[in-house]
Homo-oligomer: A and B are copies of this chain.
Amino acid sequence: MDKENPEIGGKAENRVSSSDQIVRDLVRGLYEGRYVAGQRLAEPDLMRRYGVGRSTVREAIKRLAAEGVITVHAYRGAQIRQLSRTEARNILLILELMIGLACRLAAANIGLPGRRAHFDQAYQALLAFRNERDSYEMVRARNRFYRAITQIGGNKELDRILPSIQVHLVRTHLKQSTEDRFADYRAIAEAILAGDETGAEAAGRDHIRLTSQALQQLPDHVFAPEEQPSAFAEFTSEDAEDA
């Protein structure tokens, strides 16, 4: 039942179910600017663009919707989610905690075999972009940096949850004010490399907090309009689902 090297990691399903490819490409497209927040996604459109059937498109849409990357209005199609200022702030509030945790865990595990080398490599790769920012390659290097942190931390759930926190969308917004915080990265990296759990957590949280502040200074037009909660009404909405 094995040929030679049967999936060393544990996840055996490398099959990339077509619909997953759409999901992937769309998210990547967000980074690359091929898709922008608010853009409408019509099924016939996507069918043609990706050369797949409607079922496949719909599955991709459902997945993206569940991850919060897009929103679907019944009978009106899907569109890439656009964050309001409040939503962005709320997301970053959560992200702050998650990144803090990731950094702390990374610092705690940096001593395990292989980790230090892996992290250092990702960090150096990011540093290479110190003077050539804003490129798509730089974004990827930064993503790998983050990813290295969460991987070393070893909390796979973090990896699973983080993407669904609309980091993409926040980043998209942030592209406008990209004065990338290399000082932050340095503080995080040093704390992690020093195995300083508390320091790493603080550095990670600070980083997100600064990011949030920068984002709040962006002009209104980069955000979706704030939707009035009306009056704390519809409270008897009852068990809307699970939770």
A residues neighboring B (CB under 8 Å): 8-10, 12-13, 15, 17, 19, 23-24, 27-28, 55, 58-59, 62-63, 65-68, 72-75, 87, 90-91, 93-94, 97-98, 100-101, 112-115, 118, 140, 143-144, 146-147, 150-151, 155-168, 227-235, 237, 239, 241-243
Contacts and interface: CB of A to CB of B under 8 A. Distances in A.
Given A113-B232, A159-B243, A62 B66 contact: yes
B243 A167 contact: yes
A19 B150 CA distance: 33
A179 to B, nearest CB: 22
Given A10-B227, A28-B242, A151-B235, 18 more contacts: A8-B234, A9-B237, A10-B228, A13-B73, A23-B241, A55-B55, A58-B59, A59-B62, A62-B66, A66-B66, A93-B155, A94-B158, A97-B100, A143-B239, A143-B243, A144-B239, A163-B243, A167-B242
Given A242-B163, A243-B143, A97 B93 contact: no
**Most chain B CB inside 10 Å of its own CB: which residue of A13, A115, A140:** A13
Contacts of A233: 8-9
A159 B94 CA distance: 11
A15 to B, nearest CB: 4
The 3 closest A-B pairs by CB, nearest first: A66-B66, A15-B74, A27-B242
A10 B63 contact: no
A90 B19 contact: no
B155 A165 contact: no
Given A55-B58, A94-B158, A157-B91, A163 B239 contact: no
Contact of A9 (B17, B98, B140, B230): B230
B24 A242 contact: yes
A161 B118 contact: no
A58 B242 CA distance: 20
Contact of A235 (B12, B63, B118): B118
Contact of A157 (B58, B62, B165): B165
A44 B43 CA distance: 26
Contacts of A72: 13
A9 B90 contact: no
